Structure 1
Amino acid sequence: MAHSFARIIIVREGEADWIGEHHSQHVTLGDVLVIGANTRCGATLDYAMTATTMYLNDDFLTDQIFWQFAASFTDRRDVRHNLKTHYEPAQVLRIGVDAVRNLAPLLDEFVAIGADGGSSGSSKWTSQ
């Protein structure tokens, strides 16, 4: 499935085989998936997995990068071009179990905001 926004998926429990457009990779607790807008991907679960997913509007992400690194870019189109030419549209970052556990309170707060109508949430998937 592809979406018109970027996604950050933090694996909080369990494991799965993540399937991207060009490759697949096993993900488990301590992994973070960074998936660009309009990038198709999916997952095959071994049993169950809990993850927190944050959805980022492409314009918001572009603005954040532009203002954080304003000295490196001439305008927002330059940011978009740089992202398309220098970065993979989907990546798995292995930040480790301890890092995810340290992030847990912040992730729980994001989930609470999402439950109140925001655009982030936590999901538990179980294979069938």
Structure 2
Amino acid sequence: MLETRAFYVEEICRWFRVPPFMVGHMTKQSSWAASVEAQNLHLLTNSLRPLLVNIEQEINRCLIDENDAEGLLRADSAGRASFYISGLTHGWINRNEVRRFENLPPIRGGEVFTVQAAMISLEQLETAPVSTS
């Protein structure tokens, strides 16, 4: 009867992918886990990681849909416009990137990065004459 109880513990551990030593079932010793660190690593890689990956994928699938997140941000048109203006005038975003964020097709020449100085390209800024006044 005691042997059948041990079988049930091992079977339940197998269902949940939990090593028996993690629930205090120490009747059998194995050679793969010589230290507590190795046992914890085994638990993480073979038990928790697959479960955490499944949870993360389900959260991404159900809650964090890329199109929905962009749609929520569209509600603040003033904030979006300010973000785009800042990026365009300081040269860290280009017009086609803005158009992509807004689900618009790219335009010809839209890959050029510009800065606030009369909105010239960065390449032209290197050769532009410097005003001393």
Q: Into which bin does the TM-score normalised by the smaller protein fall?
A: under 0.3
Higher strand share: 1
Q: TM-score scaled by structure 1?
A: 0.19
Task: Point out which structure has higher relative CO (alpha carbons under 8 A, 6+ apart).
Answer: 1
Q: TM-score scaled by structure 2?
A: 0.19
For the pair shown, the structure with the greater C-alpha radius of gyration is 2
